[in-house]
Amino acid sequence: MGDLGWVAYPKNGWEEIGEVDEDYAPIHTYQVCRVMEQNQNNWLHTNWILTEGAQRVFIELKFTLRDCNSLPGGVGTCKETFNMYYYETNGDEEEIEDGEMRDGTGMTEEEDRLMKESRYIKIDTIAADESFTELDLGDRVMKLNTEVRDLGPLTRKGFYLAFQDLGACIALVSVRVFYKRCPFLVKSLAEFPDTIPGSEASQLVEVVGHCVNNSLPLYEPPRMHCSTEGEWLVPIGKCVCQPGFEEINGSCKVCKMGFYRSLLDSLACSKCPPHSVARQTGATSCSCEDGYYKIDSDPPNMACTRPPSAPRNAISNVNETSVFLEWSVPMETGGRKDVRYNILCRRVLPDGRGLEECGPNVRFLPRRVALSNTSVMVADLQSHTNYSFLLEAVNGVSELAKDHAKQYVSLNVTTNQAGIVVRKGHTEKSSIALSWAEPDRPNGIILEYEIKYFEKEQDSSYTIIKSKETEMVVEGLKPSSVYIFQVRARTSAGYGAFSRRFEFQTSPYCEYITATSERTQALIVAVAITLALVLLAVVAGFLLSGRRCGYSKAKQDPEEEKMHFHNGHIKFPGVRTYIDPLTYEDPNQAVHEFAQEIDVSFISIERIIGAGEFGEVCSGPLRLPGKREIQVAIKTLKAGYTEQQRRDFLWEASIMGQFNHPNIIRLEGVVTKSKPVMIITEYMENGSLDTFLKKNDGQFTVIQLVGMLRGIASGMRYLSDMGYVHRDLAARNILVNSNLVCKVSDFGLSRVLEDDPEAAYTTRGGKIPIRWTAPEAIAYRKFTSASDVWSYGIVMWEVMSYGERPYWEMSNQDVIKAIEESYRLPGPMDCPEALYHLMMDCWQRERSNRPKFDEIVCLLDKLIRNPSSLKKLVNSSHRWDLWVCFFCLFTVGEWLDSIKMGRYTELFMEGGYSSLETVAQMTSEDLRRVGVNLAGHQKKIITNIQEMRVHMNSTNSTVNI
Ligand code: AMP
């Protein structure tokens, strides 16, 4: 009674009453039941309750509440709820305030109460789940209600509770105030302290655990989470026993002697592995027994090991000055898998003077030390020499085992005769220079060597050549190809064995120009001096004698023509071969095999664009049904033709129809079923190349010119791949379209030559365009793709000199003679040196030395890709045009024409400069006096006069010789 000391206000409100519960045990209650009176406001204050750090507390109330309906009368003021409040403070204010504050402020007790109550915060209105009636009371059945409310977050040290009654009939039987906490816990070798949860309802408080003795956190510190319900949740991380300890029943126990534990993630202490011991408790590793070793990278549970014994069963196999050594794995590997082998090589000095280490010249394949295989090849030993090899096996602990005596197996070997070592010298696209040393102890005097070679992987056919020297150039090879070479020597005792195989590769296609450029340059210089003089003599001779020089006749080979078509060209898979229309008995059949018949109604002739041998060449649209209209060229066969002429005319179509290439004029079809007979080809807006260039002198960039040449070379490559020899390749037979694409035209064998005004009759009766034709074709009608390459060189020259006539006005006979004497056309003005080199290569006398069309295309592509390679122009001292003109043009007028200054001829004559000798003495002053007033023209003429003087001096000295 009165134990709790709770304060009620007003005094006649809540009362402390002793009762008995249903079991007749005495209980304390606070009761109030002023249901009959109006305006009730009865407060019951608890004393100060310490939170003990809890931020959220729970209040469990047990009470009974009277059912208002069961009360007789006065139910109007009866309530069935009461309110619960709280008020937080850091100290027990009740004690302090009760006396002092009120006295100091002069407040009445009533006012003081009201002020205090105003500071309380309402927790909730509490209603009864079950109320009781008078009857219940009589039965002594207590209808006890239990209500729980939580309170938080609390921030002060303690708080008061208060219960407010507004006119109900209540008996407060029990008020239990409590908070929840997560209790101290040991989990995964980590201790988590007793923890008070957070203030929010679903909040988790993270707690870092503390590893128990002799344990360490594994990867990260262990953590747990304390919930508001006082439960430990979400464990993260854990502790493990530190090395040398193991976990037994939640604590860490030390490892016993002879056991170790090295790693955090192994659980229990392990027995020391073989050949190792742990002489103390708590070992984190075991130490090796004497004579056994471990390296850092060995795992802790690996046994201690020792060096291996020596290799076994070593054998040697001598091949000339090479030795192949082979052995078996050692009997004892020392318990390790990383056994490797080292070779010690020593040469036995003559006369037993001891041993000497093999020098760095001896090669070991794959290497000398740390061999993983049980064999090695030792090469480049001296011949007829004794060697001693020591083979040693080592493993990962050999280095550590300093006091372990090394175990070797030794092998004595005597080398034989050294094989011939072939070395590669200068290499070109079709040749390789070889050299070799004479064997050091040949069996007698060497009479000669035999060189055997074949293309790699083609050893079914090989070639053998003989040489008395220790070097030779092997020729006739394919570019970019690998060849195998072997050399053997012959003495009077016979042949020795072939050397081992040596593999060498020829240069690629494109490199030929660099390989030959040195040659060409030397040639230019030498030829410039000597041959110029020879030609001078020849020309002078012709002029003096007035005689035309014939040139040697050769017997004509009737088979030759056929060979041109099928021989001497590289055949690529997938490229069709040209079929000679001659092989058709009926020429009409050939035409219809290769050319489409076009109905004349689809063609309209609009303009005449040229004159061909058989009739006019016209142009106009072709409208084939279902096809786009295109412009075409229409070659007509004039009326009154003979059957032979008709056949010759259509011959061209039979050839052209076989080709399909962007740089070959395309045949659209033929009209043979009506008259006139026509050949329809694609229309080339800019006509023939020679006229086109003359019309546009100096108008194109070098790259544009090279682009044109590239097109022509590409068309010619196609023809040569098809096995077709053109025979009349010249700028006049190239057509140019509006995009500057050049296409090869004028096909038709003998007809072409008959047709070509440039073709001259040779002494053999055939008609040949001398200036464009290779010497072998002129001399004995050897027309091949290589002779087309010669013509291509002339076309290059025509293009680079904008349609200049090759060899100017020299007669055909002079040209033949000059070529015979190795004279070649000079580099055109402003011609890139690289292009002139290519021309000169096309004009190699030996036709096999001329580049192939695919090489030419390849080189031109390279030049186009790298325009700076075209910057260097032909040196003017190598330009012989002036020199040639001096001897082939005799008047001042012709000379002025040749430098495009013909307009001044009359002025020169009037000024008294009527011979080249007088012109050669002229100065700038003289030029002005004559009437050449334009500075540019003065400069051009003076430059040419200076060059003329240089050449005059050189020719004079020749004459003296
Ligand atoms: P040809 O009889 O083939 O030499 O032709 C004579 C002339 O006609 C040539 O020099 C060209 O000027 C012209 N010509 C021939 N074919 C064509 C063509 N396809 N496109 C434009 N002009 C051509």
Q: Has residue 763 got a pLDDT over 80?
A: no
Considering only residues 882 and 645, tell me which one the structure prediction assigns the higher pLDDT: 645
- pLDDT-wise least confident of 106-115, 123-132, 649-658: 106-115
Distance CA 509, CA 523 (A): 22
d(Cα 272, Cα 283) in Å, to the nearest integer? Answer: 10
- Helix, strand and coil content of the chain, in percent to the nearest 5, comes to 30, 30, 40
pLDDT value at position 35? Answer: 86
∠ CA 456-459-464, rounded to 5°:
100
Instruction: Please name the helix (run of DSSP H) or strand (run of DSSP E) that holds residue 489, with its range, or none.
Output: strand 482-491
Structural tokens at position 4? 């709790």
CA 389/CA 871 separation, integer angstroms: 62
pLDDT bin (cut points 50, 70, 90) of residue 192 is very high
- The residue whose C-alpha atom lies closest to atom 8 belonging to ligand 1 is 610
Structure confidence by residue, pLDDT tens digits, 764-799: 556 789 999 999 999 988 999 999 999 999 999 999
**Is 137's pLDDT higher than 70?**
no
Q: How far is the CA of 687 from the centre of ligand 1 (A)?
A: 6
329, 374 contact by CB (below 8 A): yes
Residues within 6 Å of ligand 1 by CB = 609-610, 612, 617, 633, 665, 681-684, 687-688, 735, 745-746
pLDDT (tens digit per residue) in 416-442? 877 788 999 888 888 999 999 887 667
Does 153 sit behind a cis peptide bond, omega within 30 degrees of 0 on the bond before it? Answer: yes
What per-residue confidence (pLDDT) applies to 256? 96
Taking the centre of ligand 1 as the mean of its atom positions, its distance from the CA of residue 2, in whole angstroms, is 138
Task: Indicate the pairing of strand 432-436 with strand 340-348.
Answer: unpaired
Q: Which residue has the tokens 């009857």?
A: 135
**Is-contact 87 123, C-beta < 8 A?**
no
What does the pLDDT average to over 235-253?
91
| Residue among 608, 617, 682 whose CB has most ligand 1 atoms within 8 A, to mutate | 617
The reply to whether 728 belongs to the active site is: yes
Residue 183 and residue 196 in contact, taking contact as beta carbons nearer than 8 Å = no
Model confidence over 448-457: pLDDT tens digits?
999 999 988 8
Confirm if 164 and 83 have CB atoms less than 8 A apart: yes
Q: How confident is the model at residue 587 (pLDDT cuts 50, 70, 90)?
A: confident
293 near 305, Cβ under 8 Å?
Answer: yes
State which ligand 1 atom lies nearest to the alpha carbon of 745.
3
Nearest CA to ligand 1 atom 6: 612
Ligand 1 atom nearest 682 alpha carbon: 19
Q: Whose CA is nearest to atom 4 of ligand 1?
A: 612
Residue 269 pLDDT exceeds 60: yes
Residue 400 phi/psi, 5-degree rounding, is: -75, -30
Q: Which neighbouring-strand residues pair with 636? A: 678
User: Which residue owns the Cα nearest ligand 1 atom 2?
Assistant: 612
Cβ atoms of 608 and 618 within 8 Å: the answer is yes
pTM for this model (two decimals) = 0.42
Task: Give the pLDDT confidence of 305-350 residue by residue, as tens digits.
Answer: 999 999 999 999 988 888 999 999 999 999 999 999 999 999 999 8
Candidates 616, 638, 688: which one to mutate for ligand 1, based on the most atoms within 8 Å of Cβ?
688
Handedness of CA 63, 68, 72, 78 (dihedral sign): positive
Mean pLDDT within 20-41? 85
Least confident segment among 120-129, 652-661, 948-957 = 948-957
What distance in angstroms lies between residue 610's CA and the mean position of ligand 1's atoms? 6
CA–centroid distance, 639 to ligand 1, in Å, is 19
pLDDT interval class at 510 (50, 70, 90):
low
User: Residue 19 above 90 pLDDT?
Assistant: no
Q: Give Cα separations from 387 to 351, 362, 574, 914 (angstroms).
A: 13, 12, 59, 90
- Do residues 581 and 651 make contact, with C-beta atoms less than 8 angstroms apart? yes
- Residue 616 has φ and ψ, to the nearest 5°, of -70, 155
Q: Which of 721, 728, 788, 881 is catalytic?
A: 728
Question: DSSP H helical segments within 831-934, as ranges?
Answer: 833-842, 853-865, 881-888, 892-898, 905-910, 916-919, 924-930
The answer to whether residues 123 and 147 touch, using CB atoms and an 8 Å cutoff, is no
Nearest ligand 1 atom to the CA of 681 is 19
CA angle 627, 631, 637 (to 5 degrees): 110
Euclidean distance between CA atoms 571 and 721, whole angstroms:
6
E strand spans, 653-716 = 667-671, 678-682
Q: Which residue has the tokens 């016209």?
A: 618
Cα 388–Cα 389–Cα 395 angle in degrees, nearest 5? 155
Cα(537)–Cα(87) distance, integer angstroms: 136
- Quote the mean pLDDT of the chain: 83
Q: How many whole angstroms from 685 Cα to the centroid of ligand 1?
A: 10
758 close to 771: Cβ distance less than 8 angstroms: yes
Asked whether residue 481 carries a pLDDT value surpassing 80, the answer given is: yes
536 falls in which pLDDT band (50, 70, 90)?
Answer: very low
Stretch 543-568: mean pLDDT, rounded? Answer: 28
Say if residues 952 and 944 touch (Cβ distance below 8 Å).
Answer: no
Residue 508 has a pLDDT of 72
Cα 648 to ligand 1 centre (Å): 17
pLDDT at 384 over 50: yes
pLDDT value of position 946: 81
**What is the number of the ligand 1 atom nearest to the C-alpha of 614?**
2
**Amino acid sitting at position 726:** H
Residue nearest to atom 21 of ligand 1 (CA): 684
- Give the pair of three-digit tokens for residue 120: 């309380």
* Contact in structure between 276 and 303 (CB atoms under 8 Å): yes
Letter string b/e over residues 215-231, b meaning 16 or more CB atoms within 10 A of that residue's CB: bebbeebbbbbbbbeee
pLDDT, mean of residues 801-812: 90
Instruction: Choose among 675, 630, 682: nearest CA to 656.
Output: 682
Give the SS3 label for residue 74.
Answer: coil
Average pLDDT on 655-682 reads: 94
CA–CA distance, 253 with 244 (Å, rounded to integer): 9
